[in-house]
Structure 1
Amino acid sequence: MRIIIIDDDHLVLNSLKMILEAQSDIEVVAIGDDGEQAISLYQQYHPDVLLMDIRMQKVNGLEASMAILKADSQARILLLTTFNDDEYIVQALRLGVKGYILKQNYDVIYPALKAVCQNQRVFNDEIMMKLPDLMKRSDHPDYEKWQLSDKEQELIIQVANGASNREIANNLCLSEGTVRNYLSVIMEKVQVRDRTQLAIFYYQHMWKQ
């Protein structure tokens, strides 16, 4: 099993590498400490599994996952984090990652990697207990909270589908300047800083509603 490990804590990164390389059936082909590296290393090595932290500088694990899965929908990504955060769990599920496990459960990492390599989904027991309630709640987004108009929701969907400003303008019969203005207002409303985060917002709050 060829894997890549991404974590911005170098102590954790090197510890994971040492622990996993002790397994006879695992080859750590590359390591990195940021989501940008995750994207480039995945493109270079196409590992069996990408084991990645979520909270990192510059590009986080969710942003990197979205970019990787957009290019390769079959990518096997296992997210590893210390944060048992409800929003992250829903985002991870909707992006299509194969698993989400907590860092403190080191004993489950190796079996989780094996399961993910076989295209199984893996979540800690603590997370599994939350899933029914989380997915039920996330199926009914509160648009009043963000005060999004129908047109603004259409633009968010276009961004999530990877459309450029010009393509959005053509699709929705708007000028590119109007699209830019809309996106600026939308990002301010939902408190994201760029198009990637806006697309993640869509997968968290709007996809399959």
Structure 2
Amino acid sequence: MISVLIVDDDRLVSSSLKTILEADPLIHVAGTGESGRQALVLYRKLRPDLLLMDIRMDAMTGLEAASILLPEDPQAKILFLTTFSDDEYIIEALRIGAKGYILKQNFESIVPALKAVYSGQRVFGDAIVSKIPALIKQTGQPNYEPFDLSKREITIIEQVASGRSNREIAQQLFLSEGTVRNYISSILEKLELRDRTQLAIFYYRHQ
């Protein structure tokens, strides 16, 4: 059974989400809240498997709440469900370590997204994923001076940020897939990042 905490400042939305989620026998809604502050209180009290949260809310936004919760509990699974696909929201959600970001318009994707996040995946709706390459390209070349990165590592980061798979990177740079995997693992460890998505956002945020 997956326990879920729903936080949305629209009670009708929360009620609808609760109905949708509990129609699945594997999901239990542990509680609902209406603000980022309530998200903090309820999460600490209920310790749900997953926090499904809106972004724009009075008093404290979902992003602000997540930026407090995740340092407290790095294993927290936070999935943002919002009507807003603003670039700055997407980047911030990825930066702080949210497990997903999907739009409310895509109601049919909510339950599959929850189950995917629960199983350890990251989930970003098509409308969000399609924005990332453009965001990465907005501000020119990144500044890597504060980091101990070789030219080859920088090239690998750029390839990952462009959305290429290990196989495509290997073909592009005339390396084996195993070598590319080793490079990426080393880079993630050096930069203290968790995965390729965070590496792409690292590229964007250091331009």
Normalising by the smaller structure, the TM-score range is: 0.5 to 0.7
* Secondary structure in structure 2 of the residue aligned to 1:62: helix
Contact 2:3–2:28 (8 Å) recurs in 1: yes
Q: Match for residue 130 of structure 1?
A: 131
RMSD: 2.4
Deviations 1:134-185 (Å, cap 9, x if unpaired)?
Answer: 13437868xxxxxxxxxxxxxxxxxxxxxxxxxxxxxxxxxxxxxxxxxxxx
Q: Distance in 1 between matches of 2:46 and 2:139?
A: 35
Q: Distance in 1 between matches of 2:117 and 2:52?
A: 10
Deviations 1:80-123 (Å, cap 9, x if unpaired)?
Answer: 10011111000000010000000010000000000000111101
The one-letter amino acid of 1:18's match is T
Contact 2:3–2:49 (8 Å) recurs in 1: yes
Aligned residue pair count: 149
Structure in which a larger fraction of residues adopt helix: 1
How has the CA–CA distance of structure 1 residues 22 and 139 changed in structure 2, closer, same or farther, with 3 Å as cutoff? farther
Does 2:37 align with 1:21? no
Cα distance, 1:208 vs structure 2? 5.2
* Secondary structure in structure 1 of the residue aligned to 2:24: coil
Q: Distance in 1 between matches of 2:100 and 2:34?
A: 19
Contact 1:35–1:61 (8 Å) recurs in 2: yes
Contact 2:136–2:204 (8 Å) recurs in 1: no
Contact 1:34–1:60 (8 Å) recurs in 2: yes
Q: Distance in 2 between matches of 1:73 and 1:138?
A: 30
The worse-fitting range, judged by mean Cα deviation, of 108-117 and 36-45 is: 36-45
Q: Distance in 1 between matches of 2:51 and 2:139?
A: 26
Contact 1:91–1:204 (8 Å) recurs in 2: no
How has the CA–CA distance of structure 1 residues 205 and 113 changed in structure 2, closer, same or farther, with 3 Å as cutoff? same
Cα distance, 1:133 vs structure 2? 2.0
Q: TM-score, length-normalised on structure 2?
A: 0.67
Q: Distance in 2 between matches of 1:138 and 1:115?
A: 32
How has the CA–CA distance of structure 1 residues 126 and 28 changed in structure 2, closer, same or farther, with 3 Å as cutoff? same
How has the CA–CA distance of structure 1 residues 140 and 18 changed in structure 2, closer, same or farther, with 3 Å as cutoff? farther
Pairs within 5 Å for 1:104-143: 104-137=105-138
| Unaligned runs of at least 5 residues, structure 1 | 142-202
Contact 1:76–1:117 (8 Å) recurs in 2: yes
Q: TM-score, length-normalised on structure 1?
A: 0.66
Cα distance, 1:70 vs structure 2? 1.2
* Secondary structure in structure 2 of the residue aligned to 1:137: coil
Contact 2:36–2:65 (8 Å) recurs in 1: yes
The one-letter amino acid of 2:116's match is A
Q: What stretches of structure 1 move > 6 A for 4+ residues in a row?
A: 138-141, 203-206
| Unaligned runs of at least 5 residues, structure 2 | 143-200
How has the CA–CA distance of structure 1 residues 15 and 139 changed in structure 2, closer, same or farther, with 3 Å as cutoff? farther
Q: Match for residue 100 of structure 2?
A: 99
Q: Distance in 2 between matches of 1:140 and 1:55?
A: 31
The one-letter amino acid of 1:52's match is M
Q: Match for residue 89 of structure 1?
A: 90
* Secondary structure in structure 2 of the residue aligned to 1:84: coil
Q: Match for residue 62 of structure 2?
A: 61
